[in-house]
Amino acid sequence: MGERSESLCRQTLMLPGQNAQLIPPGYDLAEAQHDLATCDLRHPRFSRLQQLIRKAEDTEMALGSDILIAALEGYALAKAIGKGAGLDALKETMATRFCGRRRASRPATE
């Protein structure tokens, strides 16, 4: 439920609470008010969890960036070392991953 919906629901639930004569027999106002109160109790916890998730996502993004930079530096080092040294298979795999991305971003020539 978004902020606007929540505001509308709160206002709407006040109406039957203030006008008991309007409530039909099957309408469980007490249950709706209980649900709203429960939502209010849980809201701060959900906010803290969402903040924690955002921080975890930021951390994951920073770690991924650091790992990618290290891998690119390792690839450059492997290319500089040259042939042999048992790195040919690794360089080929890395070339497929890193060079393929660069080629896709180049504008097509006529």
What's the gap between Cα 87 and its chain centre? Answer: 37
* The token pair that represents 4 in the structure block: 């606007």
- Nearest residue to 17 (alpha-carbon basis) of 39, 9, 2: 9
**Domain region containing 26:** 3-105
Most confident range (mean pLDDT) of 63-72, 81-90, 100-109 is 63-72
Give the pLDDT of residue 92.
75
Report the C-alpha gap between 88 and 100 in whole angstroms.
17
Give the pLDDT of residue 83.
67
Task: Answer whether residue 100 is part of any domain.
Answer: yes
One DSSP character per residue, 99-110 reads HHHHHHHSPPP-
Q: Are 72 and 98 in contact (CB under 8 A)?
A: yes
Task: Answer whether residue 80 is part of any domain.
Answer: yes
Task: Answer whether residue 110 is part of any domain.
Answer: no
Task: Answer whether residue 67 is part of any domain.
Answer: yes
Domain count, the chain: 1
Task: Answer whether residue 29 is part of any domain.
Answer: yes
Task: Answer whether residue 89 is part of any domain.
Answer: yes
Average pLDDT of the chain, as a whole number: 83
Give the pLDDT of residue 75.
80
Task: Answer whether residue 94 is part of any domain.
Answer: yes
Task: Answer whether residue 82 is part of any domain.
Answer: yes
- pLDDT surpasses 70 at 107: no
Please report which confidence band the pLDDT of residue 110 belongs to, taking 50, 70 and 90 as the band edges.
Answer: very low
Report the C-alpha gap between 47 and 42 in whole angstroms.
9
